[in-house]
Chains A and B, each alone.
Chain A
Amino acid sequence: MNDFVDAFRFIGDHVPLLWSLTLDHLALTGAAMAIAVAIALPLGVWLGHLHRGSFAAINISNVGRALPSLALISIGVALLGIGFVNVMVALVVLAVPPMLTNAYVAVDGVDRDAVEAAKGMGMTPLEVLLRVELPLALPLIFAGVRTAVVYVIATATLGSVAGASSLGDIIVDQATYRLPGVLGAAICVAALALVAELLFAGLQRAVTPRGLRARRRVGAAVGPATTTET
């Protein structure tokens, strides 16, 4: 209990350090998410639109979720050396699967009637995708992004052992910062993850077409149980 109080005192005493490391942490997270989104969303949406590759798209998140993070970072260091890049690459590998699967399931699962109606109205496939499938799929796509962001924030902590600066630097260095420091930095990471979760939950709600919002609570469970957020 004492350490808990000391942890908050530590946070109070070390605001500049924590702020700087938080920015580093966010930089790592942001870079990894940007690349992962650029890979996962277009691919997932496209496959879902074509209703192709379901086996791979659905199972990649199962495989991806199983990948041990430190082991990936370890292989990353061997291939790319110590530093920001290799940790970022490992984080991309971990972030892509849930987003890819969610994007696929989201677009693939759009109500066929709506799609038929749009085609009947004379829309080209691209227009169908952009004006009908995507808006209806956005909530689930965002759910995937939300899962990935929280996971990446938590895993970025490990990057400190591989030369990527983050809040994990304090957690790894118990010698210098002692237990209040470790606990304080851990609280910061948890807070960061919570903020991200709330932010993306809000975004998810914002992009849900109004008509779907009531149904969303039921529909959010759509997809195999394997895409449950960890």
Chain B
Amino acid sequence: MLAGEVTPTQKGRLNVKQGTLRMLLGALAALLLAFGLAACGDDDSGGSTAGSTSGSETTASMPGEGKPPITLGTKNFPEQFVLGELYKQGLEARGFTVNLKENIGSTEIADRALRSGQIDMYPEYIGIFNSTVAGNTRSFADAAAAFAAGKAYAERHGFTLLPLTPFENVDALAVTTEYADRHGLRSVADLTKVRGFRLGGAPEFRERPTGLPGLARGYGITDVRFSPLTIGLQYQAIDNGKIDVAQVFTTDGQLVDGRYVVLTDPKKIFGIQNVTPVVSSRVLQAEGPGFEETVDAVSRVLTTEAMQRMNAAVAIDKQDPAAVARQYLEANGLL
């Protein structure tokens, strides 16, 4: 007898099989319905499941009440994750609905996402905005000048730049405290006192205008031995004595301990990199006047030391950016 031949007794078994089939299809349909509803439900309001409350007081005077949801994007490194959570939670505390899209990619990708409307806002560094987004490679005397130039460009293209944060995350050169004391180093200009020091930095530092050429042009530093290394490993290299001076970022978490001295850059050859929230102008209008105020309240409390500590917590102590941001905002009365 062939397996599957339909005989009366086998028909009974087939009915069981058929019953199982119906049950399976029913279960499939139910699951699909459930997840379909869940998916449709969250797709607009939420990639983020951070446990933040949308304000402990729901008084009618909350500026965000009734305003359309806003999509906030962040670029692909820890400081950006922290900034994203800071702005998101700060806005939510005032009744706004924020859809956070974390880790969307590099500057170019974030910019494109903003221009195509996939995100409405993201935190950008003013120097990078000017050079990469606006294509303007002039160097500026101070933050106000850089901001003015960036703002002019933005407004011609349908965005607005909100006021800068006090902190900037800019390239810098750092040495150990004891090396600084030994050679009397406080600013990059003092490096001319040290012959043939070993400098470690990202490979592109060698050629780019804000790298070795900038040091030569701005401070007359030419007697330097450069070693390319992976960013992230420069602190190890300086600790192990492989290099004397490291290329760092001014808000690196490793700088909290006071073991390193960041040399000042009076000529600003490394640029100016305070953060400005770039927002689509149309969305900014739709969100009402309270929006800019709320974002600004958050920006105002972001000092260099605060960012260093938060970056240390996230990048070195591997804490959750949402939790770190929440603690910081709570401590400063913004939640």
A residues with a Cβ closer than 8 A to B are 174-176
Interface residue B106 (Cβ < 8 Å from any Cβ of A): yes
Of residues 178 through 198 on chain B, the ones whose CB sits less than 8 Å from some CB of chain A are none
Mask: chain B, 107-138; 1 = CB below 8 Å from A; 0 = not: 11100000000000000000000000000000
Q: How far is the CA of A176 from the CA of B108 in the complex (A)?
A: 8
Interface residue B105 (Cβ < 8 Å from any Cβ of A): yes
Q: Which A residues touch B106, using CB under 8 A?
A: 175
Shortest Cβ distance from residue A225 to the other chain B in the assembled complex, whole angstroms: 16
Q: Which B residues touch A174, using CB under 8 A?
A: 105, 109
B residues with a Cβ closer than 8 A to A are 105-109
Q: Which A residues touch B107, using CB under 8 A?
A: 175
Q: How far is the CA of A176 from the CA of B105 in the complex (A)?
A: 12
Shortest Cβ distance from residue A163 to the other chain B in the assembled complex, whole angstroms: 10
Q: How far is the CA of A175 from the CA of B76 in the complex (A)?
A: 12
Q: Which A residues touch B109, using CB under 8 A?
A: 174-175
- Can you show 8 pairs from A to B with CB atoms below 8 A apart? A174-B105, A174-B109, A175-B105, A175-B106, A175-B107, A175-B108, A175-B109, A176-B108
Q: How far is the CA of A176 from the CA of B109 in the complex (A)?
A: 9
Q: How far is the CA of A175 from the CA of B105 in the complex (A)?
A: 8
Shortest Cβ distance from residue B64 to the other chain A in the assembled complex, whole angstroms: 33
Q: How far is the CA of A76 from the CA of B213 in the complex (A)?
A: 39
Q: How far is the CA of A174 from the CA of B108 in the complex (A)?
A: 9
Q: Which B residues touch A175, using CB under 8 A?
A: 105-109
Q: How far is the CA of A174 from the CA of B107 in the complex (A)?
A: 11
Shortest Cβ distance from residue B18 to the other chain A in the assembled complex, whole angstroms: 23
The chain B residue sitting closest to A172, CB to CB, is B105
Q: Which B residues touch A176, using CB under 8 A?
A: 108
Q: How far is the CA of A175 from the CA of B111 in the complex (A)?
A: 10
Q: How far is the CA of A176 from the CA of B106 in the complex (A)?
A: 10
Shortest Cβ distance from residue A142 to the other chain B in the assembled complex, whole angstroms: 32
Q: Which A residues touch B108, using CB under 8 A?
A: 175-176
Q: How far is the CA of A174 from the CA of B110 in the complex (A)?
A: 11
Q: How far is the CA of A174 from the CA of B105 in the complex (A)?
A: 9
Q: How far is the CA of A174 from the CA of B106 in the complex (A)?
A: 9
Apart from the given pairs A174-B109, A175-B105, A176-B108, 5 other A-B contacts in the complex at a CB distance below 8 Å: A174-B105, A175-B106, A175-B107, A175-B108, A175-B109
Q: How far is the CA of A175 from the CA of B104 in the complex (A)?
A: 11
Shortest Cβ distance from residue B68 to the other chain A in the assembled complex, whole angstroms: 29
List the 8 closest pairs (A to B, CB-CB), nearest first. Answer: A175-B108, A175-B106, A175-B109, A175-B105, A174-B109, A174-B105, A175-B107, A176-B108
Q: How far is the CA of A25 from the CA of B241 in the complex (A)?
A: 37
